[in-house]
Amino acid sequence: MHGLIFRTLEAFISDAFGRDHWTLAVALADLPVTSFEAMLQYDATYFPKLLAACAQDLERAPSVILEDLGAYLITHQNHASVRRLMRFGGDTFSELLHSLDDLPGRTRLAVSGLELPQVHVRQPIPQHFTIHCSGTPTGFGHVLVGLLRAMSDDYGTLAVLDHCGVRDGAEVIEVQVIETAFADDRGFSLADSALAHSA
Amino acid sequence: MMSVTDLLMAIRPLHVCIGPTGHITQVGKSFCKLGVGNPTGARFLEVFEIMRPTKPASMSELRGLAGQVLRLRLRAEPGLGLRGLVVDDQAQGAILDLSFGIAVVDAVQRFGLTARDFASSDLVMELLFLQEAKSSAMAASFSLNARLNGARLAAETDALTDGLTGLHNRRALDGALSRLGKSDTEYAILQMDLDRFKQVNDTLGHGVGDTVLKRVASILRSQTRQDDLLVRAGGDEFVIVCPGLTDHLRLTSLAAGLIRDISEPAKIDGQDVTIGASIGIAVSIKAERGDPASCVSRADVALYAAKRSGRGQHVFWSADMGDTLAELVLPVP
């Protein structure tokens, strides 16, 4: 499994709860690794163990941790590039949702070897989207919920997102876009990339 | 069917239409972002400079380039290369369809372009996405490499250093000797043993013994040159390798100075501690330069001779001592 996934969990737990909690989680998970590098590969069985250990230590459900991790990726200044790369998906939150089918492909373009579940988006009725995620890592749907919730804020769009569990082997997310100009759009300029890199 | 010019306006944001007189009759909507205002009405060749494949001087020469890819630039922005295709409009004029090519990344930064400034079929957004993603991934890779390299350097240093004194260890000595063996440099090797160190260790404790070793290390550092290799080979044995130093007088002065300073009584943890040192010296011999190990062995023989003749002395190796300890002819005491 790609080190970026582990590194992200490590950064999130350390930044949001403190390094001690990460140290404790690693000890609870009984892994031979104590810190992860973004650009190395690790045994995929580590991930569920680590997540369970974090859940035990922080006394919250794994799904909640994953959702917060998604939001953290968009809002934390250390990961400004993730927000920017997501904004390449479109000018509006709805366009971004429509671009999610391309997410695994875009991710592979960005970091070869980083495999994400296949994402399939449908819009059965206007302003209502259904997102299916199939494949590993399981629980990615929860990360996507947190990430999209933060992105809707970023676009200034009011949207309600729900993880509806697993149907036919795919995680299902329901999104309802309520108001597109609910708050200020944080904005996105192609020309800001230099700023994002120095962050 | 809409007119060609309206069609161009709708789908090609970076096109230029040129009339039969060589004047610009229409430009795509993204031109206003490029800092040249609206060039409509200006002479095409005064706004643009065509670099390749040839430099047309007239409208007919320009139309002659139809079907070819041009490389050109705005005279007002000479740093920004453009690419374009010329099409003969069949009415004595020409149409140029332009793109930034690989310069698009710079153009976006320079002019604050947005997705709407490009044709929606253009892959420019994918290119920019890839460029940003690649930069982020490279940054992560560089930071990993920097950390790994730091760890490697630290591990290498640790592997070549004696933890107690900070001098080099035997592994570093082996490396240095093998490098010397391959070079043309003459050198001297000094083997030094401390006298009465074992008694200090046994009677005053290892703590005092360690402090004595550190003191000796600092004396070695202060009396030797930058290029000399200082090695704690184990216990109370030290080796000094002096590249380029073979002069007997200078080596004598070095050895005597070391023995004098080490033999100075010192107060350690409130205890008076007096030790001494014996030194054996061997100098590389031109013909045998290739074998530093034999030079070390000779320095060892000389050290043994120094100890036998009453400690607190230095002795140069001489041929009559033999090459190894086994051959050493001991004077009858």
Chain B residues whose beta carbon lies within 8 Å of the beta carbon of residue A196:
132
Round to whole Å and give the CA distance between B78 and B80: 6
At B333 the pLDDT is: 47
Over residues A161-179, the pLDDT tens digits come to 999 999 999 999 999 999 8
Distances (CA, A) of A146 to A149, A150, A154, A188: 5, 6, 12, 20
Round to whole Å and give the CA distance between A43 and A64: 24
- The C-alpha of B328 sits at a distance from chain A's nearest C-alpha, in angstroms, of 55
B88 is catalytic: no
Start-end of H helices in chain A: 3-17, 19-29, 46-58, 62-75, 80-87, 93-98, 103-110, 140-155, 193-198
Computed on alpha carbons and rounded to an integer, the radius of gyration of chain B in Å comes to 40
Instruction: Provide the residue type at B260 as one letter.
Output: R
Which residue, among A53, A80, A82, has the nearest Cα to A65 in the 3D structure?
A: A53
Q: Give the residue ranges of chain B where pLDDT is below 70.
A: 286-290, 327-333
Round to whole Å and give the CA distance between B171 and B155: 13
Q: Do residue A190 and residue B128 have CB atoms under 8 angstroms apart?
A: yes
Over residues A54-102, the pLDDT tens digits come to 999 999 999 999 999 999 999 988 888 888 888 888 889 999 999 999 8
- The C-alpha of A56 sits at a distance from chain B's nearest C-alpha, in angstroms, of 30
Round to whole Å and give the CA distance between B72 and B57: 14
Considering only the beta carbons, identify the residue of A91, A189, A194 that sits closest to B112. A189
Q: Is the pLDDT of residue A198 over 90?
A: no
Share above pLDDT 90 across residues of chain A, in percent, rounded to a whole number: 62
Round to whole Å and give the CA distance between A36 and A26: 11
At A194 the pLDDT is: 52
Considering only the beta carbons, identify the residue of A37, A91, A110 that sits closest to B137. A110
Q: Do residue B132 and residue A111 have CB atoms under 8 angstroms apart?
A: no
Chain B residues whose beta carbon lies within 8 Å of the beta carbon of residue A92:
none
The three-point CA angle B130-B133-B136 to 5° equals 150
Cross-strand bridge partners of residue B240: B190, B230
Q: Could you tell me the two tokens for B182? A: 């391959």
Round to whole Å and give the CA distance between A20 and A108: 33
- The C-alpha of B121 sits at a distance from chain A's nearest C-alpha, in angstroms, of 14
Q: Do residue A37 and residue B144 have CB atoms under 8 angstroms apart?
A: yes
Which of B162, B236, B247, B261 is labelled catalytic?
B236
At B167 the pLDDT is: 94
Mutation target to probe the B interface, by most B beta carbons within 10 A, among A190, A193, A197 is: A190
Please state the separation of Cα B36 from the chain's center in Å.
45
Q: Do residue A109 and residue B140 have CB atoms under 8 angstroms apart?
A: no
User: For A111, which residue in chain B has the nearest alpha carbon?
Assistant: B137
- The C-alpha of B123 sits at a distance from chain A's nearest C-alpha, in angstroms, of 12
Domains of chain A, by residue range, sit at 3-60, 72-198
Q: What's the CATH number for A72-198?
A: 3.90.1520.10
Q: Do residue A106 and residue B129 have CB atoms under 8 angstroms apart?
A: yes
At A53 the pLDDT is: 95
At B282 the pLDDT is: 94
At B47 the pLDDT is: 92
Q: Is the pLDDT of residue A187 over 50?
A: yes
Round to whole Å and give the CA distance between A50 and B181: 53
Mutation target to probe the A interface, by most A beta carbons within 10 A, among B136, B138, B144, B148 is: B136
Q: Could you tell me the two tokens for A54? A: 């974090």
Pairing mode, strands B276-283 and B314-316: parallel
Chain B residues whose beta carbon lies within 8 Å of the beta carbon of residue A113:
none
At B330 the pLDDT is: 58
Q: Do residue B115 and residue A190 have CB atoms under 8 angstroms apart?
A: yes
Considering only the beta carbons, identify the residue of A40, A111, A193 that sits closest to B132. A193
Distances (CA, A) of B215 to A54, B162, B275, B317: 50, 14, 11, 27
User: For A87, which residue in chain B has the nearest alpha carbon?
Assistant: B129
Q: Could you tell me the two tokens for A78? A: 């250390």
Q: Do residue B113 and residue A193 have CB atoms under 8 angstroms apart?
A: no
The three-point CA angle B122-B141-A19 to 5° equals 115
Instruction: Provide the residue type at A48 as one letter.
Output: P
Cross-strand bridge partners of residue B84: B70, B98
